[in-house]
Chain A
Amino acid sequence: MGVTKEQLESTLTSKLNPQHLEVTDTSGGCGASFVIDIVSERFEGKRLLERHRLVNAALEEEMKEIHALSIKKVLTPQQWKQQQEESEKSKSAA
């Protein structure tokens, strides 16, 4: 039953070739609820909805077992770089 964090990671890695990927199991280990941060070139030029669709489609099989999937960050490498630089800045500013 359930899906593991590793399963999700390997599926997403193979299908979306992410530059950065962070899967967090928020179900407390029962494999029903995950939060995903993903950065991939595949998202270039795509709206938020389409990006989510890509992730959802990649996880089609897994979704049958998952109750809740929260895609927190779905960014292009460029956006991710920007975000990181901004957070660096705010850190150094603080």
Chain B
Amino acid sequence: MAAINLPFIHSPPSLQIFSIKSPQSTSKFLLFSQSIASPLLSSSSKLYTTAKARASSLIAFAARNLSESELNSVPETAGEIAGKFPSDAGVYAVYDKDGDVQFIGITRSIAGSVATHWKSVPELCVSVKFGVVDEPDRTTLTQAWKSWMEEHIKATGKVPPGNESGNATWVRQPPKKKADLRLTPGRHVQLTVPLEELIDQLVKENKVVAFIKGSRSAPLCGFSQRVIGILEAEGVDYESVDVLDEEYNNGLRESLKTYSNWPTFPQIFVDGQLIGGCDILSSMHEKGELAGLFKN
């Protein structure tokens, strides 16, 4: 089997496993490799049948190399997408209107991912090829992805633009944390206006500002942490200022206490007005009063 398969297998990892017959290689892995090779064996009907039978019993990633998979146009509504694509795990390739591959990905739900892509970049998500992977453990999925990627790279000589490093169009990433705002250019720079004025500008120019201890990604006090948690939960776009940053917000703690006539941190401002600290924000959050406040 190995001798016959060897010339047909595209992916170097599989090739390696077949050739060295590594004892670690699991039967699933071997079957998987066969399944990729199977369409190429179609000239030899006997072998093809064998491979197909084995593959279908365990793995549905049979006959699913990229070029032979069917191209499905992406419908216009989320409901139709859910009807047209399976919600199974698998590998998929997204094509733009020119028929160029934009992105190759793996997913726990093909329909879900297609819907997500279609929603975020409809102009790039015109049609999709997919291959369902049964028993989708991480290794199998990754292998499926690798084989599609390798096939694509071999055919076109390039990586799909969406798979290039640094391209964040297709990969769902945790929402990027904004940087904390800095009030001054640094402690050694002489300010030409009083700090209070900078605070005043800052809270008036930004809809929601939270003055917290520590950064928004790592608040240093429980109350600040709770405030960040509430703001994130409300899904509001807000700015944060670290009152402990002695370099860029030197003197802010004292100035802010005077400015807002509020003795503690965190402090939350909306439309230039102090809303209060953690207790008030928590209480308003619980009563559902915040959404209205952030909206207007």
Q: Give A contacts to B, CB under 8 Å.
A: 48-49, 52-53, 56, 60, 63, 68-72
Tell me whether B274 is interfacial, beta carbon within 8 Å: yes
From B264, B278, B280, A49 is in contact (CB under 8 Å) with: B280
Tell me whether B283 is interfacial, beta carbon within 8 Å: yes
Give CA–CA (A71, B280) in the complex, Å: 8
**Cβ–Cβ contact A52 & B279, under 8 A:** yes
Q: How many residue pairs, one in A and one in B, have C-beta atoms under 8 Å apart? A: 30
Chain B residue contacts of A63, Cβ below 8 A: 263-264
Tell me whether B173 is interfacial, beta carbon within 8 Å: no
From A48, A53, A70, B262 is in contact (CB under 8 Å) with: A53
Chain B residue contacts of A60, Cβ below 8 A: 263
Q: Give B contacts to A, CB under 8 Å.
A: 221, 223, 261-264, 274-280, 283-284
Chain B residue contacts of A56, Cβ below 8 A: 262-264
**Given known contacts A49-B274, A49-B275, A68 and B280 CB-to-CB distance under 8 angstroms:** no
Chain B binding surface, main DSSP class? mixed
Give CA–CA (A85, B263) in the complex, Å: 33
From B221, B261, B279, B284, A72 is in contact (CB under 8 Å) with: B279
From B264, B275, B280, A69 is in contact (CB under 8 Å) with: B264
**Cβ–Cβ contact B223 & A52, under 8 A:** no
Give CA–CA (A71, B281) in the complex, Å: 12
Give CA–CA (A27, B221) in the complex, Å: 14
22 cross-chain CB contacts under 8 A:
A48-B276, A48-B280, A48-B283, A49-B274, A49-B275, A49-B276, A49-B280, A52-B276, A52-B277, A52-B280, A53-B261, A56-B262, A56-B263, A63-B264, A68-B221, A68-B223, A69-B263, A69-B264, A70-B223, A70-B278, A70-B279, A71-B279
Question: In the complex, how many angstroms separate the beta carbon of A55 from the nearest chain B beta carbon?
Answer: 10
Give CA–CA (A52, B223) in the complex, Å: 16
Give CA–CA (A71, B263) in the complex, Å: 13
Give CA–CA (A34, B61) in the complex, Å: 61
